[in-house]
Amino acid sequence: MGAVIFYYTGTGNSLWAARTVADALGETGLVPTVGSKDKEKTIDAQTIGLVFPVYIWGVPAPVIRFVHTMKARPGSYIFAIAVNGGQVSNTLVQLKRIIARNGLDLSAGFQLKMPSNYIPWGGPGTQDEQLTRFERAQEKISRIAEGIKAHTPSPVGKGPLWQRILFTAVYKMTFSMVPTMDRSFWSDDKCNHCGICVKVCPAENVTLAKGKPVWCHRCEQCFACLQWCPQEAIQYGKKTPRYERYHHPEIVLKDVLKLR
């Protein structure tokens, strides 16, 4: 295989980015990191991509677990795209260090701004704002793909120094708390017991008890359960009932369900 992209996605931004890069590269395999059997063996590809969202200004735990087991052929060109709602911070620097512990090198790392799905801090923005981000992301991916095709090494993207210091400290302080942050999830009376929240959760963290969702404290904060709920019945804290739900408009529910 010439190229393969491993992706982690909750509400579709990273899946869309991975697909778009794969289309630009041609002859590129797409493999979800969740449940990927490929992570247990050497990846037989000259070009290896990692596409994932930034969580709390750092690398999500599932991606860290995947990278720890990743093996590649010597000389492989490894690139990463960190999808974020505004601040990449130190994420790609962190990833480069993790990959180096496996004796590999992150040849290039790019940040890609997309509408935010982190609903506790508000919605994804207006439709015009979302459209602008989609257009800019498409243009940037076209430029990124040219560098990947040529196996051009480049410094990893990163935020300003103050951001990397402050936000990295927040990431380190909260990383171990993420699994139990699901205590703020709840479901309202619109819940019709469809069970989609159970099916879309990449961590198998949601179950149904008497038809209502229950969170089991191994959360990854991807917000797939909330964003994909067709009734908008799942909430997080007190503010989300008034916020717009979001998933990438070119990604549909069945795209996410077949990954789990």
Domain boundaries in the chain? 3-165, 177-257
Show pLDDT as tens, one digit a residue, over the chain (260 residues): 689 999 999 999 999 999 999 999 999 999 999 865 545 568 989 999 999 999 999 999 999 999 998 999 888 999 999 999 989 999 999 999 999 998 999 999 999 999 999 999 888 999 999 999 999 999 999 999 999 999 999 999 999 999 999 999 999 999 999 999 999 999 999 999 999 999 999 999 999 999 999 999 999 999 999 999 999 999 999 999 999 999 999 999 999 987 76
Q: Which residues pair with 140 in a beta bridge?
A: none
**Measuring CA to CA, how many Å separate 44 from each of 20, 34, 170, 214?**
22, 19, 37, 40
pTM: 0.95
pLDDT value of residue 34: 80
Residue 35's pLDDT is 66
User: Angle, to 10 degrees, between the axis of helix 13-25 and the axis of helix 127-149?
Assistant: 40
- Topology of domain 3-165 in CATH is Rossmann fold (3.40.50)
Q: What is the pLDDT of residue 136?
A: 97
**Which residue do the tokens 């960190």 mark?**
82
Residue 71 host element (H or E): strand 71-72
Amino acid letter at 165? I
**Closest to 260 (Cα-Cα) out of 194, 196, 211:** 196
pLDDT at 123: 85
Tell whether the torsion through CA atoms of 12, 18, 21 and 25 is positive or negative: negative
Task: Name the burial class of residue 21, with classes exposed (0-12), middle (13-18) and buried (19+) by CB atoms within 10 angstroms of its CB.
Answer: buried
pLDDT, position 74: 85
Q: What is the Cα–Cα distance from 250 to 260, expressed in whole angstroms?
A: 19
The arrangement of secondary structure in 177-257, i.e. its CATH architecture, is 2-Layer Sandwich (3.30)
Measured distance CA(7)–CA(148) in Å, rounded: 16
Q: What pLDDT score does 36 carry?
A: 58
